Structure 1
Amino acid sequence: MAKTPTAKSDAPKTGGIFAPITPSADLAAIVGADKLPRSEVISKVWAYIKQHDLQNPENKREIVADEKLKKIFGKDKVTMFEMNKHLAGHMKA
């Protein structure tokens, strides 16, 4: 007997990466001060990085911080894997 697939809910996602957060003042300088889902914060940070050409051209996984990002990362360079750890300290539920 085949199992019936469960129906997906049409309700908006609100937990985890979709939970709205308030950015710190330093992060708000990049993404704005409004409450945003974590997923949108990350998207806006990546848009900022690409707009300002902050990826190391020799190693695209490395982000070279400008003055705004140095306030968030606490150092001159981070990898894309480290970035989320540093962003987490600037997001308040």
Structure 2
Amino acid sequence: MAKEKKASDAPKTGGIHAPVTPSAELAAIVGSDKLPRSEVVSKVWDYIKAHNLQNPENKREILADAKLEKIFGKKSVTMFEMNKHISAHVKA
């Protein structure tokens, strides 16, 4: 008996899973390959944690270094604002 395919078995290619191309500024952090938006956000978080850029008194605040400041446009953002700034640096 053949296994019946379900919609959930299909590869995820839309929305947050759609491949996007990072801007030159964002590519300095995540690389220049096309990546799903979810992977871009994950790599930015890896960068933030690797460089200890979370405010120790308020972990929701990200203190931008020179690379992140080019993406955020300011010295600090909250984790909730971060995705809005990243969206401006990716294209489908």
1:1-31 per-position Cα deviation (integer Å, ceiling 9, x unaligned): xxxxxx4432210000000000000000000
Which consecutive residues of structure 1, in runs of 5 or more, have no partner in the other structure?
Answer: 1-6
In the alignment, the residues of structure 2 paired with residue 43 and residue 9 of structure 1 have an alpha-carbon distance, to the nearest angstrom, of: 23
Could you tell me the TM-score, scaled by structure 1's length? 0.91
Specify every segment of 5 or more residues in structure 2 that has no aligned partner in the other structure, as ranges. Answer: 1-5
Match of 1:18 in 2: 17
Report the 3-state secondary structure (helix = DSSP H, G, I; strand = E; otherwise coil) of the residue aligned with 1:34. coil
Measured in 2, the distance between the counterparts of 1:83 and 1:9 equals 29
Partner SS, residue 62 of structure 1: strand
What is the TM-score of this pair, normalised by structure 2? 0.92
RMSD, aligned CA:
0.8
Which residue is 2:64 aligned to? 65
The runs of 4+ residues in structure 1 deviating greater than 3 Å are none
In structure 2, the partner of 1:3 is none
Q: Classify the secondary structure of the residue corresponding to 1:14.
A: coil
1:1-93 equivalent positions in 2, closer than 5 A = 7-93=6-92
Counterparts of 2:64 and 2:84 in 1: how far apart (Å)?
Answer: 15
Number of paired residues?
Answer: 87
